[in-house]
Amino acid sequence: MQFKRTPDERFENLVDYSFQPHYLEVDDTEGGKLRIHYLDEGPSDGDVVLLMHGQPVWSYLYRHMIPLLVDAGFRVIAPDLVGFGRSDKPTRPEDYTYARHVAWMSDWLCQLDLTDITVFFQDWGSMIGLRLVAAFPGRFAGVILANGALVTGPVPEEFAIPLKEVYKTLPVVKAEELEERFRDTSGVPGILYWRKFCAESPEILRPGDAVIDSVASQSVFTGAEKAAFNAPFPDETYVAGARRFPSLIPLFRDEPEVEENRAAWEVLKQFDKPFMCAFSDDDPVTAGGDKAFLDHVPGCRGVEHRTITEAGHFLQHEQPEQCVQAILDITGRG
């Protein structure tokens, strides 16, 4: 599998990101290896907190949470998913599949041999991370789900063919229009505009300048922060993973990984360790997504769920203290 590796100098002197890099090689599923980057901060014998990011960001999103968690005595692990951050980036969109993302991160998790993990999942971090919880439930002590999901083909069959036809004719909107598309529930689902945008728009190359701002409705990013989010992608040859992610969400029942996600849900329906929902109050992407977990995951019972206030999709950036408090509460340190 051919891949690109973002030059190290792209990550020099990033604002609020002075953490030391760590790397681990995983099987690329084609007989080769891919390098995954991760942060490993805090005492080596501390209780493990795993932070998993989504699209189109990387571990930089957790820069404000990590020091607070280290100060609380945790060992904090924050990987960059394959195709993002300092991790290797296969160059063809078809190199990326949902199953491969799960396999890559499963290999990484098992090599590190992490156990008794408290996890904080957001966006694609949950789509992959909840599959890890289902595959290795004994490794996890608790889950905080923040603006996340585990999708199993939610589009009804009678709407599938019409929506697939509509998708072919959708315009590629500007990044600044995406939030409006997500909030408008009267027409074509916003996720289809997002799928088209990521697949075709040149703006995906510079997520800090446009994409992140479009769904971070409660925050303003500085120029230095935007540059840091752009750092992993020097040119078009590095963004295949970011372009591919929305197309891997199994919205339709005939798409790959629907059955695998349903099987994962069956495990989660037996998961009785603490499971907290901590969705933000102003996320146009995942609003209401916590209900399925509250209704079906036993670990949600008796947990003090919360709304992260004054936050959009990227709540880790906008309200790091509230996110850390959720972790402290679920681990009994609040």
What's the pLDDT tens digit per position in 70-86? 999 999 999 999 999 99
The pLDDT value given to residue 215 = 67
Summarised one tens digit per residue, pLDDT across range 36-74 is 999 999 999 999 999 999 999 999 999 999 999 999 999
Summarised one tens digit per residue, pLDDT across range 125-181 is 999 999 999 999 999 999 999 999 999 999 999 999 999 999 999 999 999 899 999
How many angstroms separate the Cα of 61 from the Cα of each of 28, 51, 78, 92, 233? 25, 10, 10, 25, 16
305 is catalytic: no
b/e per residue 96-111 (b: at least 16 CB within 10 A): bebebbbbbbbbbbee
State the catalytic residue, choosing from 53, 283, 290, 317. Answer: 283
Structural domain boundaries enclosing 116: 3-330
**AA identity, residue 278:** A
**For residues 192 and 195, what is the distance between their CA atoms, to the nearest angstrom?**
5
Mean pLDDT value of segment 272-301: 96
CA dihedral 220, 52, 43, 144 (to 10 degrees): 90
**The CATH number of the domain where 284 resides is what?**
3.40.50.1820
CA atoms within 13 A on the CB side of 74: 25
283 is catalytic: yes
**For residues 207 and 123, what is the distance between their CA atoms, to the nearest angstrom?**
15
- Across the beta sheet with 140-148, what order do the strands follow? 22-27, 33-41, 75-79, 48-52, 117-123, 140-148, 275-280, 306-308
Instruction: Report the domain count for the chain.
Output: 1
Predicted TM-score of the model (pTM) = 0.96
The pLDDT value given to residue 124 = 96
Q: For tokens 């922060």, name the residue.
A: 225
**For residues 37 and 88, what is the distance between their CA atoms, to the nearest angstrom?**
8
Among residues of the chain, what percentage have pLDDT more than 70? Answer: 99
State the catalytic residue, choosing from 28, 123, 213, 290. Answer: 123
State the catalytic residue, choosing from 37, 101, 313, 317. Answer: 313
**For residues 116 and 74, what is the distance between their CA atoms, to the nearest angstrom?**
12
**AA identity, residue 287:** A
